[in-house]
Chains A and B, each alone.
Chain A
């Protein structure tokens, strides 16, 4: 071993150790955090979601051989309700910020996901996978401090990166394709969105007692109280009544 090799290997080990301790450090702190899991169900028969008439844009018709349906209420076979946003509405003193950049895609003339939940100040990217121009027009209440914007994204245009300043459920629309509408659910702290079976898991919840809220765009908000033990998992189930 000459000197150079020694130097390189020492350097490598140092870097590894540093990285490891950093990673370890993170898991150590996460070890104290628990999670909240549960299921959101719909009680009763889900309203009939009409198929969407996309005939005004031939591209969209071609992209969807079987017509898409409206997504205001999407219930799974077991009654699980999709696209419900779960967040901690009370009891959280010092939430950690989410920093991951989420993607809000415009695909086959629909928004994917239909509801994008995010933390205050968390950056998200709006991108298009379509070969037709889309328009992104979120319509927040100006009183909240969120600033509305309205801009289009032709195919090939770079993604639009944005974030929101205040908690709000913001409806987003495409002015070019009026059936396209989705939601930016801006909440404070950890959050989750239900999957197609209505299941959710809110990660990274510090131990404590909380009020968990479930928000659905048609049925509104429900709350439940839970207590999370350190490293443990609490359960909260919700049931919305079909109108």
Chain B
């Protein structure tokens, strides 16, 4: 720890670096941990100006969660490659349902809509926009496009079923249902997050939306879009 301790074999010489001075602080430190109970309420009562500082755990947490999700899909992808290598005889290519491309467009559009919403929310929070309605509209749009995506994926499943391709039919259909299924479950989680954002943003019952919640939700949502594009590429390439 201290250079002086190393190298000298005898008597301890402890010349410690002078401690950095901080004045004793009480709990009004804005960036304290708060142990998860960060019910930050502006002193003037105007919730619209709430912004939370850097290092907010929600934002960190979402990156960590995304790392785990990425790892999960990496594992599934490697499973796909290994499985393809293990037996080529039953690797029957399937034609991807066309609707997947439409769904992709919907998901990308929803990401754009969410970015628009984020700008509107920020404007409202900063007091630049008087009303929530514009932001709410974009949030609703995001939600709707997300639901369109989920419904579209379901349509894709139905189309595959109609071809007689079920989950255990062959490895390609297994992987198709697996990837789309696991992804849709994550997308539904994102829709849950969006709902939460909308409810919090509505300001009812004294609820308030923190910036980090919105940020985290949108990072997650964009990640789902990017993940889907990767998956689509993988499915198109391999299945």
A/B touching: CB–CB < 8 A:
no
